[in-house]
């Protein structure tokens, strides 16, 4: 089946540290991959996406590369800020009954301290 596995959190970093959140997936076919972010008390927001192998998605200093050979889509940021504290969800698209839907990982909480 289709599934997404993320590293368990919380990930605790100091401001300006380098961030990596690991994400691996299992899928049939060639899914698109996504990272969503959820700030406290809010819904999920699309952070970035990649639609085919070797694509790099990037937004707001975050980036992730679609690696088909390792079935991974790790999220990275060179220098995190306190305002990046949130829960990050990796997701993949797949067909369900002929229509594409998103399957999410369980989320990784990031806590950035000043």
- For position 62 contacting another protein by CB under 8 A, the verdict is no
Give the span between the Cα atoms of 23 and 8, in whole angstroms: 10
- For position 106 contacting another protein by CB under 8 A, the verdict is yes
What letter does residue 83 receive in the DSSP assignment?
A: G
Which of 25, 63, 84, 103 contacts another protein by CB under 8 A?
A: 103
- For position 41 contacting another protein by CB under 8 A, the verdict is yes
Q: How far is the CB of 79 from another protein (least distance, A)?
A: 26
Which of 49, 74, 77, 84 contacts another protein by CB under 8 A?
A: 49
Query: Under the rule (CB under 8 A), what is the footprint of another protein?
Result: 32, 34, 36, 41-46, 49, 51, 89, 93, 96-107
């Amino acid at each position: 089946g289709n599934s997404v596995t993320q590293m368990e959190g919380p990930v605790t970093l100091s401001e300006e540290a380098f961030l990596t959140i690991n994400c691996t997936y299992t899928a049939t076919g060639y899914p698109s991959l996504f990272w969503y972010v959820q700030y406290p008390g809010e819904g999920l927001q699309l952070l970035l996406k990649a639609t085919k192998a070797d694509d790099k998605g990037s937004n707001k200093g975050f980036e992730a590369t679609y690696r088909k050979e390792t079935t991974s889509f790790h999220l990275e940021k060179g220098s995190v800020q306190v305002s990046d504290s949130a829960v990050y969800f990796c997701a993949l698209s797949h067909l369900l009954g002929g229509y594409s839907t998103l399957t999410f990982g369980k989320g990784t909480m990031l806590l950035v301290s000043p």
